Amino acid sequence: MRNIETMRLMVTTVLAAGMLIGRSAAAQPDARPIPLKVAVSSYLSYAPFFIAEEEGFFVEQGLAVELLRVSSEAALIPALVQGQVDALAAAIMPAYVNVIARGGEMKIVAGRGHYATEGCAYSGIMARRDLVESGALETAADLAGLRVSTERTTTSYYRFDKLLSTGGLTLEDVRIVDLPVAAELDAFATDALDIATVSEPWLTRLRRGGHAVLFARASDYLPDFQFGYLLYGPSLLTDNPEAGERFLTAYLKATRQLNRDGKSPRHLAILMKHTSLDEATLEEACWPHLDDDGRVRVQSLEQYQEWALERGLIDRIVSTEEMHDPRFLEAANRSLAESGGGP
């Protein structure tokens, strides 16, 4: 009899425990990380993405982020709009202005690098050393007739056109040559090139080569212009905005760590891994200027669009409301403020 009572007590205890476990499991949210695909390039201005990955900031936000390395940001725009890629980090370009103008579900959610008026030059115009030292090239007006390497689909083209305008010139007044950036070093050395529009690390590499010098900083004629942005597609804008907030929180946390610690041994190691640049180049190069709060510099977007419309590169001017969704940035900055502001 005593054995039967003992058995009953054991069964009752097991059932009660099972009910408690069931209730506890039902009360717990799904702990599986949210998978995200984010398109980036292996350049210095993408440093916060690499830091967030290596420091575990994405995991901390419950995300499993796959960083997709791309050589052409414009080529990933259709994938972003179709939801095959969740986010895209890209310099401003006519392609995504036109996609938004035509109704594509894609919006800027944060700003990235800008041409700071103080500090080192991340982007600029490199010129043949002998042209500068001889006095043949002193002002933008002296650029007429020179051979220039610039990428037509990037902000380099815009930057150079704005510099020319300060000297009363247009792109029609120079000789544009199509050269891959890797070939510019030899082209300067053989006097086959006069001018190149470059950003780091090529600015440092060309300077090291000895045949080119910095003629103008981008900030000299485009002060505080914002060249880089983070864009979301429908998977984050509509389907899972909470994941978009979490991603941006991790990104801003990494940005603040980068701005605080700069070229620390830890950051040098991370960028050596993700950019394939050697330590000496990373030490010498100018690192991009990023805002702690990821602000979107609306004036830069307006300024660029006015130029692009004049050049026939975009269909129309896209309003700030059409192009920029501020809710993710607001939520991310609020989250970081509540948690102490950063790492």
Q: Which CATH superfamily is domain 123-221 in?
A: Periplasmic binding protein-like II (3.40.190.10)
Lowest pLDDT segment from 23-27, 79-83, 283-287 = 23-27
For residue 275, give the nearest of 21, 97, 52, 46 by alpha carbon: 46
**pLDDT at residue 176 tops 80:** yes
Distance CA 69, CA 75 (A): 12
The residue assigned the tokens 């009752």 is: 12
pLDDT range class, residue 103, cuts 50, 70, 90: very high
Residue range 228-232: mean pLDDT, rounded = 96
Distance CA 13, CA 130 (A): 90
Query: 34-115+225-338 and 123-221 share one CATH topology?
Result: yes
Summarised one tens digit per residue, pLDDT across range 54-71 is 999 999 999 999 999 887
Within 10 angstroms of residue 256's Cβ, the number of other Cβ atoms is 21
The per-residue pLDDT for 342 is: 63
Q: In the chain, where are the structural domains located?
A: 34-115+225-338, 123-221
Give pairs for 182-188: CB < 8 Å, separation 24+. Answer: 184/126, 184/149, 185/209, 185/211, 187/149, 188/126, 188/128, 188/212
Residue range 295-303: mean pLDDT, rounded = 95
pTM of the model: 0.87
Distance CA 241, CA 109 (A): 11
The per-residue pLDDT for 1 is: 43
CATH class of segment(s) 34-115+225-338: alpha beta
The per-residue pLDDT for 4 is: 41
The per-residue pLDDT for 181 is: 83
**pLDDT at residue 11 tops 60:** no
pLDDT range class, residue 152, cuts 50, 70, 90: confident
Residue range 113-129: mean pLDDT, rounded = 94
Residue range 230-259: mean pLDDT, rounded = 97
Residue range 255-277: mean pLDDT, rounded = 96
**pLDDT at residue 304 tops 80:** yes
Summarised one tens digit per residue, pLDDT across range 17-57 is 444 344 333 333 457 999 999 999 988 999 999 999 999 99
